[in-house]
Chains A and B, each alone.
Chain A
């Protein structure tokens, strides 16, 4: 497969309402959509660079595409075999991005960029074959239940959001914690949701001592797991916390690379992995990590980034259906969070949080080019 062109759209999509967690407040999605073209077909991928997760920024993603990746892809024939397409693309992208120059600062990996390119190439290849991603990643389950998320804010606001989630039939709820109102917020939500599954995400806001103290109380409130209690800079303390925690520990920002996974598994540093496509570099790395986690009995859940459009939502849906048995699944908020999605219909979960298989060639998202253009604040395009 030889590419005829590549375009990058840096988007700004206002949220229906602000989204807060311990380290950020967001009012809009800053997704980057990568478009690749070949033989009249178009494939779309998506990146949501987060400097506090992978060390990437919007600029670093644009730079790595325009200055590094595209000059190497423009005249190259990509290996896209009928059998083993995902693995073949995965290996070529590993090779490409491992040799990419690292920007300055706290850079960890070009995973957002890699994810966008992987999804775009996959979408394109599948469209050229008139295949849906589900034919490559065969679903093991017919549908998956998505979780609702309650952001940081007052306990009263959290209770109001919880009531909305209950009306939506959502059975699993994640609450953002990491501030002085943590316990009040969880108590307020518990009061509204009754026996529904609750878990928390601290986004690395706690010290070891704070985590130990809060988790003891959260266990009494029936909290089922805690995501990223300590943060990547305190990863070394995770084995101690995990060994005695009354609440299972899930790693998120502490799990960005395959090397992270090896260290975490060797040290028994967590009970679960939070897989996020954008954070880990796409479908192929997520599948590898899910396999690596299975043997020592570490569970996996699928996470999402705030502001994902239907492109990442579609890929996440297909991965979740394929893996089956994920402890929790997040994402597919679509127009529940985005003021406008770039696809019609927006890929989102329905009542009960249920999301089922997607149809149509490619990833399963029908991107509207006019919406993409209307929502872009920067646009770069090139042909060989």
Chain B
């Protein structure tokens, strides 16, 4: 029997469960819960805004990388994501939405630092030796992370916009990046998950290997790690809410 048969179904179910677990953990993590409840200091809201901007400032690069490896069944979804990031679908380019977020939060002076952080992250990815032995494996890890953010934002971005509006006083124009992602409906996120499965199927992954790469990618909770600093998942697990 072909070992890859059933990889899409198995990986799809595994990803659904892993993404939801990570989203639950984000929502329950004390630093995030404080932001939602309005119990955080202004500096914590500002730090959150900065980390969101650092995380997503070069998102188009990562989506473009995943698109370059996409098999036919996943290409349309990733192409759509890439065009959206670049504003080539008629919408605003996402980097501009992030600039508006910084400006609206009175953090425009941090733009250079945000850009440098994004640049360094990209440099690190390009310069450091690769743990995985093939582009196929690297691509799956990238795709799992990209789609993971799409899934999370489709469920949580509206809540993020709300707490920044209500507890940090950001104007609507500054929140466009969040409201845009909140409008990405669940079906759109489902398409992303299907793209990961198509990828795994097309490139003949054995389910156990695809699951191992997905788990290694999501192990540290990418949402907490990117928005609240590396190791914050471990800290959140130890800290009482």
Contact = CB atoms under 8 A, between A and B. Distances in A.
A168 B131 contact: yes
Nearest to A168: B131
A168 B132 contact: yes
A336 B220 CA distance: 11
Contact of B219 (A17, A344, A352): A17
Given A16-B220, A340-B230, A168 B129 contact: no
A28 interface: yes
Contact of A167 (B213, B230, B231, B235): B213
A164 interface: yes
A62 B235 CA distance: 26
A349 interface: yes
A334 B137 CA distance: 20
A14 interface: yes
Interface in B226-241: 229-232, 234-235, 238
Interface in A18-46: 18, 27-28
B46 interface: no
A28 B235 CA distance: 10
Interface string A330-348: 0000111011100011101
Interface residues on A, range: 20 to 34
Contact of B131 (A28, A351, A355): A351
B111 interface: no
A160 B215 contact: yes
A368 B124 CA distance: 12
A17 B234 contact: yes
A375 to B, nearest CB: 10
A345 B128 CA distance: 6
**Top 7 A-B residue pairs of the complex, sorted by shortest distance between their CB atoms:** A14-B231, A339-B230, A350-B129, A345-B127, A351-B133, A163-B212, A339-B231
B209 to A, nearest CB: 6
A172 to B, nearest CB: 15
A106 interface: no
Contacts of A325: none
Contact of B137 (A18, A163, A167, A336): A167
Interface residues of B, number: 27
A346 B212 contact: no
Interface of A: 13-18, 27-28, 160, 163-164, 167-169, 334-336, 338-340, 344-346, 348-352, 354-355, 368
Contacts of A163: 208-209, 212
18 contacts: A13-B230, A14-B230, A15-B234, A16-B219, A16-B231, A167-B209, A167-B212, A167-B216, A168-B133, A338-B230, A339-B229, A340-B230, A344-B123, A344-B127, A345-B123, A346-B128, A349-B129, A351-B129
A188 B45 CA distance: 45
B37 interface: no
Contacts of B123: 344-345
Contacts of A338: 230
Contacts of A350: 128-131
B210 to A, nearest CB: 10
Given A17-B234, A18-B234, A28-B231, 10 more contacts: A14-B234, A16-B225, A163-B212, A167-B132, A167-B209, A167-B216, A168-B132, A344-B120, A350-B128, A351-B130
B30 to A, nearest CB: 15
Contacts of B216: 164, 167
A16 B130 CA distance: 17
